[in-house]
């Protein structure tokens, strides 16, 4: 699962405006609506329902909010960075500043799991997280997230 197949440069938010968990999910849903063509409130509802099952804050300052929508044509990813870490009920009880949201078609069982695993592996790498936190622009963040793919293709 290549990140570049689910994330576009326009799907990167280099500086979230929001400072609270629910507002972050709303902002992610708005960006996801732009890239998917779906309604932001529908995406927000899916994300909020998933959070009610348990926080997607996986620790180390990272959260991976995700959900599934009917009639979606493919998997989509939105990546966002907060300038100031946000309380997100993460498993390690630390605030979160890196958010990687994934929206999948309802029928995308294995692909959804592969994407979550790929994202999780990438963001467990402390060096990668440090680089993402220090990146100066959306384009720089996108390049970092997709750099392994470019190196493999070369």
Strand-pair category, 12-13 with 96-105: unpaired
Whether 152 has a pLDDT exceeding 50, the answer reads no
Burial class (CB in 10 A: 0-12, 13-18, 19+), 68: middle
Query: For the residues 7-11, what does the mean pLDDT come to?
Result: 96
Catalytic-role residue among 21, 31, 38, 66: 66
pLDDT tens digits, 99-126: 999 999 998 878 888 999 999 999 999 9
At 44 the pLDDT is 98
Distance between CA 16 and CA 95 in Å, rounded?
14
Contact in structure between 44 and 36 (CB atoms under 8 Å): no
Whether 150 has a pLDDT exceeding 70, the answer reads no
Distance between CA 32 and CA 76 in Å, rounded?
8
Domains of the chain: 3-147 (3.40.930.10)
Contact in structure between 36 and 101 (CB atoms under 8 Å): no
Q: By three-state DSSP, how is residue 6 classified?
A: coil
- Please state at what angle helix 138-153 crosses helix 126-134, rounded to 10 degrees: 140
At 5 the pLDDT is 93
66 is catalytic: yes
């Amino acid at each position: 699962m290549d990140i570049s197949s689910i994330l576009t440069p326009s799907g990167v938010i280099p500086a979230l405006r929001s400072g609270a968990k629910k507002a972050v999910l709303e902002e992610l849903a708005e960006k996801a609506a732009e890239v998917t063509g779906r309604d932001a409130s529908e995406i927000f509802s899916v994300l909020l329902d998933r959070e009610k099952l348990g926080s997607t804050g996986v620790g180390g300052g990272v959260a991976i909010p995700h959900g599934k929508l009917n009639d979606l044509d493919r998997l989509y990813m939105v990546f966002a960075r907060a300038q100031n870490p946000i309380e997100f009920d993460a498993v390690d009880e630390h605030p979160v500043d890196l958010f990687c949201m994934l929206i999948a078609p309802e029928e995308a069982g294995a692909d959804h799991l592969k994407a979550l695993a790929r994202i999780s592996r990438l963001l467990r790498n402390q060096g990668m997280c440090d680089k993402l936190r220090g990146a100066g622009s959306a384009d720089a963040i996108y390049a970092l997230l997709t750099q392994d793919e470019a190196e493999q293709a070369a």
